[in-house]
């Protein structure tokens, strides 16, 4: 069983790839935030993740069938006794020294495996090298179920490379997780999520004069906001011109790329709020009982901090005053 508490105590095999800019969605800055403040990044398991976990044992059975090997399902989190490295091997061959990593992707996963879906992405290679270094195993297979199509990739041990990977991971942990060094912000969504969690409210009154460094940031921000308006308007004008040229065609292709203007499939939408109100009013005639039902399903919604910005010839947002 994957143990999130153990994973907090070190860098995982796939996470280390972020230190080279190889991870598909983690940056070093995001990784620092997630390890130092895991409470701010607690996400419920989504459907894709749940389906992947459910299919893991079946995928290992398919791997065993294709390779004619006896394999053992592990699905456990291990921690190195002295290094800040954690690893979660999915499976292990029982009669030879070879580990197994299981990956399940729908169509959106094709982008990771090259134009012909036959290349193992670098962040998975790094993960395998971490596992091989931790368990001193010469080979690691990656079984990928990609849009229903099984593939097996093999990664071979490279002790020199693995030593460099582990050293970089340990240095990162020492400087940026245990230590007080801060990395520059390179992921605005992660930064916003952390800052909303870390500073959910503001002190009043506490509108202070910006420092020289802060004023420089504000000046640059003001310039960007002024430039953004005309660019957004220009984009909309260009889109209107291009769609006007497309008319009832599917789109346009040119040397620089492709622009399509397709209709989405028709769908149905249920107005759950109106339905609930209708059922309440139809089934409950007593005003007091209606109020009781409304009160039962009413929950407080926490406020959040919002940006209001005003500069010369520019103002945007609402100056919230509780």
Largest pairwise CA distance in the chain? 77
pLDDT tens digits, one per residue of 193-202: 999 999 988 8
The residue ranges of every structural domain in the chain are: 4-189, 208-246
150 - beta bridge partners? 145
Question: Mean pLDDT over residues 13-40, rounded?
Answer: 95
- pLDDT of residue 278 exceeding 90: no
The CATH number that domain 4-189 falls under is 3.90.320.10
pLDDT reported for residue 221: 92
- pLDDT of residue 267 exceeding 90: no
Question: Mean pLDDT over residues 293-303, rounded?
Answer: 85
- Predicted confidence band at 2 (pLDDT cuts at 50, 70, 90)? low
Question: Cis ω on the peptide bond leading into residue 156 (within 30° of 0)?
Answer: no
Q: Would you say the pTM of this structure is higher than 0.85?
A: no
- pLDDT of residue 282 exceeding 90: no
Question: Mean pLDDT over residues 293-316, rounded?
Answer: 83
Phi first, then psi, for residue 143 (nearest 5°) are: -90, 120
Name the 3-class secondary structure at 91.
Answer: strand
**Which region among 18-27, 110-119, 218-227, 276-285 has the lowest average model confidence (pLDDT)?**
276-285
Q: How many whole angstroms separate alpha carbon 56 and alpha carbon 90?
A: 8
Question: Which residue in this structure is represented by tokens 């929950």?
Answer: 299
**DSSP string covering 185-254:** P--HHHHHHHHHHH--S--SS---PPPHHHHHHHHHHHHHHHHHHHHHHHHHHHHHHHHHHHTTSSEEEE
pLDDT tens digits, one per residue of 158-181: 999 999 999 999 999 999 999 999
The 3-state secondary structure of 257-307, one letter per residue: EEEECCCCCCCCCCCHHHHHHHHHHHHCCCHHHHHHHHHHCCCCCCCCCCC
Cβ-Cβ contacts under 8 Å for 157 (sequence gap 6 or more): 129, 132, 133, 137, 138, 139
- pLDDT of residue 15 exceeding 60: yes
> Rounded to the nearest 5 degrees, what angle is found at the Cα of 61, between the Cα atoms of 55 and 66?
125
- Predicted confidence band at 299 (pLDDT cuts at 50, 70, 90)? confident
pLDDT tens digits, one per residue of 75-98: 889 999 999 999 999 999 999 999
CA distance between the termini of the chain = 46
- Predicted confidence band at 1 (pLDDT cuts at 50, 70, 90)? low
> Given the DSSP bridges, would you call strands 98-105 and 139-146 parallel, antiparallel or unpaired?
parallel
pLDDT reported for residue 321: 61
- pLDDT of residue 322 exceeding 60: no
- pLDDT of residue 3 exceeding 80: no
**Number of neighbours of residue 302 by Cβ within 10 angstroms:** 7
Mean predicted lDDT score pLDDT of the chain? 91
Q: How many whole angstroms separate alpha carbon 170 and alpha carbon 114?
A: 30
Question: Mean pLDDT over residues 11-16, rounded?
Answer: 94
């Amino acid at each position: 069983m994957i143990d999130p508490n153990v994973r907090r105590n070190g860098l995982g095999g796939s996470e280390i790839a972020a230190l080279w800019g190889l991870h598909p969605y983690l940056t070093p800055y995001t990784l620092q935030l997630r390890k130092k403040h895991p409470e701010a990044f607690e996400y419920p398991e989504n459907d894709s993740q749940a389906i992947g976990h459910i299919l893991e044992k079946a995928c290992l059975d398919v791997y065993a069938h294709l390779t004619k090997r006896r394999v053992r399902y592990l699905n456990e989190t291990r921690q190195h006794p002295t290094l800040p490295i954690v690893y979660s091997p999915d499976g292990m061959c029982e009669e030879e020294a070879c580990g197994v990593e299981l990956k399940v992707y729908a169509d959106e996963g094709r982008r990771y495996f090259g134009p012909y879906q036959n290349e193992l992405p670098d962040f998975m290679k790094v993960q395998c090298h971490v596992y091989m270094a931790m368990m001193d195993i010469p080979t690691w297979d990656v079984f990928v179920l990609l849009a229903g199509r099984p593939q097996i990739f093999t990664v071979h041990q490279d002790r020199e490379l693995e030593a460099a990977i582990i050293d970089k991971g340990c240095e990162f942990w020492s400087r940026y997780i245990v230590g007080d060094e801060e990395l520059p912000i390179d992921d605005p969504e992660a930064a916003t999520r952390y800052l909303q969690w870390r500073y959910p409210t503001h002190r009043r009154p506490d509108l202070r004069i910006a420092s020289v460094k802060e004023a420089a940031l504000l000046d640059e921000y003001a310039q960007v906001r002024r430039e953004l308006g005309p660019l957004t308007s220009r984009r909309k004008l260009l889109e209107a011109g291009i769609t006007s040229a497309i008319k009832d065609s599917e789109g346009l292709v040119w040397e620089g790329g492709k622009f399509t203007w397709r209709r989405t499939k028709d769908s149905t939408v249920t107005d759950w709020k109106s339905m609930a109100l209708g059922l309440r009013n139809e089934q409950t005639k007593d005003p007091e009982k209606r109020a009781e039902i409304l009160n039962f399903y009413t929950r407080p919604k926490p406020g959040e901090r919002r940006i209001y910005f005003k500069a010369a010839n520019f103002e945007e947002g609402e100056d919230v005053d509780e």
